[in-house]
Amino acid sequence: MKHKFDKFLTVLIVIIVVIVIALLGYLAYDFLSKYFGKKDAETAVDDFEQQVIQEEETNTQPEENIQQQEPPTTENTTSNTSTSSKKTYTYKGYNMIGTIQIPKTKIKCPVVDTVTPSSIVAAVAVLYGPGLNQVGNTVIVGHNYRDGSFFSNNKKLVVGDKIYITDTTGNKVEYTIYNTYIASDQDFSYAVRDTGGKREISLSTCTENVNQRLVIWARAD
């Protein structure tokens, strides 16, 4: 009987050790994937902002200087009939149209132009509106993963906090939050509201209740 018990105890200990190792491995993988995912997003933001600023500086050079430059050879560059050409930017296969930075929640993230199940795993995305830094209300949606990424910490934002949006022209605009509230997932009135000729953004993300959304309004200063 004692031999059977010892054998059972040995098997049980082995199972527990395997479970603990598997759990630690999962936690380590989850931590590293989130860490490197955040670093990847921050690097993409820095690269984007540097590139668009350089491009705008190039496009605003005197005409004689522009004519002396070699024609662009980058495959991501598209030509048009003007004296300058606009570059397209991608992030993880999606069209990157800008960046969002929220100092209070330490978020630096690409903004893409398409809302799909896979695109909002990679970044935040424009759901509705005229576009980044344009007159009117532009809605940006992001996941609440409850781990600090994307819009997970939007619940910490309050009236007066700042949000910075950079677009493909290199224009970086400061927005100030002036309203936060919880809405039903069926309520879209915040998206179609009249801004009175102002440039505004609305951030939207899930709450702990999947049938509700945390909505934040911010206006360009």
Query: Does residue 190 have a pLDDT over 90?
Result: yes
In this structure, which long-range contacts are made by residues 114-123, counting pairs with CB atoms below 8 Å and at least 24 apart in sequence? Answer: 115/141, 119/94, 122/91, 122/92, 122/93, 122/94, 123/41, 123/91, 123/92, 123/94, 123/96, 123/150
Higher pLDDT, 80 or 102: 102
Burial 184-207 (b: 16+ CB within 10 A, else e): eeeeeebbeeebeeebbbbbbbbe
Q: What is the mean pLDDT of residues 85-89?
A: 72
pLDDT of the residue at 141: 97
84 pLDDT band, cuts 50/70/90, is very low
Q: Residue 100 pLDDT more than 90?
A: yes
Least confident of 43-52, 107-116, 209-218: 43-52
Locate the domains of the chain by residue range: 2-220
**Where does the pLDDT of residue 42 fall: very low under 50, low under 70, confident under 90, or very high at 90 and above?**
confident
Contacts of 104 (CB under 8 A, 6+ apart): 156, 157, 161, 162
- pLDDT(34) > 70: no
Q: Read off the pLDDT of each residue in 202-214 and give the average, rounded to a whole number.
A: 94
Q: How confident is the model at residue 51 (pLDDT cuts 50, 70, 90)?
A: confident
Which pLDDT band holds residue 72 (cuts at 50, 70, 90)?
A: very low
pTM, full prediction: 0.74
Pick the CATH number of 2-220 from 3.30.930.10, 2.40.50.100, 2.40.260.10, 3.40.1180.10: 2.40.260.10
* pLDDT tens digits, 142-185: 999 878 889 999 999 999 999 999 999 999 999 999 999 999 99
Mean pLDDT, all residues of the chain: 82
What's the mean pLDDT in 105-131?
95
What is the residue whose two structure tokens read 């989130």? 34
